[in-house]
Amino acid sequence: MNAFSGQIALVTGASRGIGAAVAEALAAQGAHVVLTGRDTKALEAVEQRIFDAGGSATIAPVDLADGDGIVRLANAVAERWKVLDILVHCAAILPELTPVKDIEQTAFSRALTTNVLATQALIARFDPLLKASTDPRFVYLTTSVATAPRAYWGAYAASKAAAEVVVDCYAQETRNIGKLRVAIVDPGATRTKMRAAAYPGEDPQSVKPAETVAKRIVALLGEQFASPHRERVNQS
């Protein structure tokens, strides 16, 4: 039997990379997956792959920097399904890597909006739907630089560190008053478009594919982990 048959999953950043791989892996295990991202054509391609593999999905193009878009998304899910069993938040943007003194304010503001404010907005809007589930789970994808900052990564690291705190606090606030389980997962070095932008000289074959991370996340979603849970996905 498929592990997630009859369950509704929402995956952000589902147009490519880890988000797309997670969406396809969840659909393969029976979940109906709501695919969100900014690139409609890329979302349609993921949706088609899911259909071709015998799964089910719905695309919902959303720019997470648009707070009204998140409201509309939550309202649409609530109207159609009344519940959300799984939320996997993969979406993030990587500002230019630069010394802190040279961080461009507009790009930094967009990173904070997408990586931090949108994370809180997703929690706020989908909390009631998650709590309506009999087995709700929320997985947030982070990065090692959020807890181990490195030179030139200041803008991205700051935004992801702030988002981690938001998610961790949410987990602590909910762990004793319901069934919701929250996990913070660091995918580690993974073959993605974002990774290629950050490490343009790196051989992509030297790091693990997104499917390896997706496999671990889907396995974790089927486990009875304590909330908040933290882990890093290894290379193999």
Mind telling me the catalytic residues? Answer: 156
For residue 56, report the phi and psi dihedrals to the nearest 5 degrees: -130, 145
Using alpha carbons only, what angle is made at residue 204 by residues 203 and 209, rounded to the nearest 5 degrees? 150
β-pairing verdict for 86-89 and 8-12: parallel
The Cα–Cα gap between 122 and 74 comes to 8
Q: How many CB atoms lie under 10 A from the CB of residue 103? A: 17
Pairing mode, if any, of strands 56-61 and 32-37? parallel
Q: Which residue has the tokens 């087995």?
A: 135
Give the side-chain half-sphere CA count within 13 A for 138.
Answer: 29
DSSP label of 199: -
Angle, vertex CA 130, rays to CA 35 and CA 10, nearest 5:
5
User: Residues 183, 140: contact at Cβ < 8 Å?
Assistant: yes
Query: What backbone torsions phi and psi does residue 35 show, to the nearest 5 degrees?
Result: -95, 120
